[in-house]
Amino acid sequence: MVNVRNIIIAAVVVVAGVAAFYWFFQSDEAKIKKRFKTIAELSSKDADEHEFTAAINAGRISEMFAETCRIEIPARNISRTYAKKDISAQVMGARSRYSEILLTFHDLDIRFPEERVARVAFTAVVEAVMIPNEFVRETHEIVTLLVKIENNWFFNQIEAVAVLER
């Protein structure tokens, strides 16, 4: 009986150790990929989403931004620097036009041009149902800069890259 108990305790300690190692010693690339996964999850929206949930998700998204973030989207005539405190209102406004949203990121190319700075190029795909019931699917090539502050990565610049169409 004592041996089984000791084996169970040892197994729990090993599992906790592996989990702690994974949590505290992730590579910067893994942390950045996790940021993108979280943003995709928080940005996505179901038709029955409650406004309180939407507000919480928008607040969590804004926590992933640096104190200021430059956003350049030439196709939408957006070229401005947003304060962190304004991001959640922008997210809420954008999400309010849709009853459903699915955001996915593809082909993340993560580079580190200098210490504590990451440049991430990727393809963003947005599938959404506009109010009233119009399906939209958009694909955008995006380049972002993230800065590392106290071991966390924060969005500092977002730029939509113009892609030639056939």
If you write DSSP's letter for every residue of 37-104 in order, what string do you get?
HHHHHHH-B-TT--HHHHHHHHHHHHTTEEEEEEEEEGGGTEEEEEEHHHHHHHHHHHHTTEEEEEEE
Predicted confidence at residue 124, as pLDDT, reads: 95
Domain that holds residue 76: 27-161
Its pTM stands at: 0.79
Q: Is residue 12 part of a domain?
A: no
Which has more pLDDT, 2 or 27?
Answer: 27
Confidence of residue 164 (pLDDT cuts 50, 70, 90): low
Predicted confidence at residue 3, as pLDDT, reads: 75
pLDDT tens per residue, range 4-14:
777 787 777 77
Cis omega before residue 132 (within 30°)? yes
Instruction: Report the number of distinct structural domains present in the chain.
Output: 1
Q: Is residue 20 part of a domain?
A: no
The CATH number for 59's domain is 3.10.450.50
Q: Is residue 102 part of a domain?
A: yes
Q: Is residue 93 part of a domain?
A: yes
Q: Is residue 22 part of a domain?
A: no
Q: Is residue 82 part of a domain?
A: yes
Q: Is residue 85 part of a domain?
A: yes
Predicted confidence at residue 24, as pLDDT, reads: 65
CA angle (29, 74, 43) in 5-degree steps: 50
pLDDT tens per residue, range 17-48:
776 666 666 789 999 999 999 999 999 998 88
pLDDT tens per residue, range 91-147:
998 888 899 999 999 999 999 999 999 999 999 999 999 888 899 999 999 999 999
CA pair distance 88, 94, nearest whole angstrom: 10
Choose among 70, 91, 86, 63: nearest CA to 149. Answer: 63
Q: Is residue 108 part of a domain?
A: yes
